[in-house]
Amino acid sequence: MIGDRWKLLILRDLALKGARRYRDFLEAGEGIATNILASRLIQLEAAGIVNRQQDPENAARTIYSLTPKGVDLVPVLLAMIAWSAQWDPETEVPVRFERALKRNPKALAKEIRDELPKPVGE
Amino acid sequence: MIGDRWKLLILRDLALKGARRYRDFLEAGEGIATNILASRLIQLEAAGIVNRQQDPENAARTIYSLTPKGVDLVPVLLAMIAWSAQWDPETEVPVRFERALKRNPKALAKEIRDELPKPVGE
DNA sequence: ATTTTGAACTTGCAAATTGCAAGCGTCTCA
DNA sequence: TGAGACGCTTGCAATTTGCAAGTTCAAAAT
């Protein structure tokens, strides 16, 4: 399910970069095509990993968020980031983040979970 | 680099299923095509994640193994397995393994590392 | 010494997936 | 009521995948 470049990047944006809207993903830097983004969001929603909801403040907008099943992927993302930080010189990880990750990954995962925007209506 | 279905499965086979030869991957059950397997092994080798060596006991054979960079991906694999065990009823994880994974993932990672076949000549 | 087997690929080609550009439908705000 | 913004969908060319059928080279069998 997750062995797919784009889905992992979408999840990273949701979990760690505060992305919540279609535009956020499109503009996240890696250059996902709009049709691919739409298809991946559908697949992630079908898999119960992300929620799609209308913004109650503006019906023209959609808000995406992680389900509990999606939140539970945070440790996977963190493990990948830890590996990249160590082995891939092109990956830029904030020093503070990298340190927290090495010292106490569980605590960092909890911190991220707590700071996640909640799905509308909770 | 790793956001690719087949590479992740190859790494899983190398790290957790004792796969060491081309045939092992081909027959691992998921049905990778032989041309795709060859291309993925080339990419993994180019990325410094796997070693390719001739079997000293039989020059017709090739032995694949994880480099240190590849071994460091074990925690990523374990995080994915933990998630699958919890959320995907189709994923079958041995109970002993799942328990060890929940209780002390670091210790399990070390155990796996220690049991890994070493590259030829070490 | 020659043939056969087995392991690790390579090649050709059809089918599926991706990426790009353009367009569409709905909602908001002036 | 008209102009944007937003979240998509569509069409099409280019890339990637999957399958089947070779090919190469070392080892084992005859």
Question: What CA–CA distance (Å, rounded) separates A17 from A71?
Answer: 14
Task: Give per-residue pLDDT as tens, A50-59.
Answer: 999 999 999 9
Residue B114 confidence (pLDDT): 97
Residue nearest to nucleotide C6 (CA to C1'): B60
Nucleotide whose C1' lies closest to the alpha carbon of residue A62: D7
Measured torsion, CA atoms of residues A51, A57, A62, A63, in degrees rounded to the nearest 10: -40
* Residue numbers in A near B82 (CB within 8 A): 75
- Domain B1-67, classified CATH 1.20.1440.130, yes or no: no
Q: Is a pLDDT exceeding 90 seen at residue A121?
A: no
Contact: B8, A8; criterion CB under 8 Å: no
Q: Is a pLDDT exceeding 80 seen at residue A47?
A: yes
* Residue numbers in B near A79 (CB within 8 A): 75-76, 78-79
Residues of chain B with pLDDT under 50: none
Which bases of chain D are under 7 A from a protein CB atom?
4-11, 17-22, 25-28
A45, A51 contact by CB (below 8 A): yes
Contact: A78, B83; criterion CB under 8 Å: no
Confidence of residue A29 (pLDDT cuts 50, 70, 90): confident
The residues of chain A that CATH labels 1.10.10.10 are 1-67
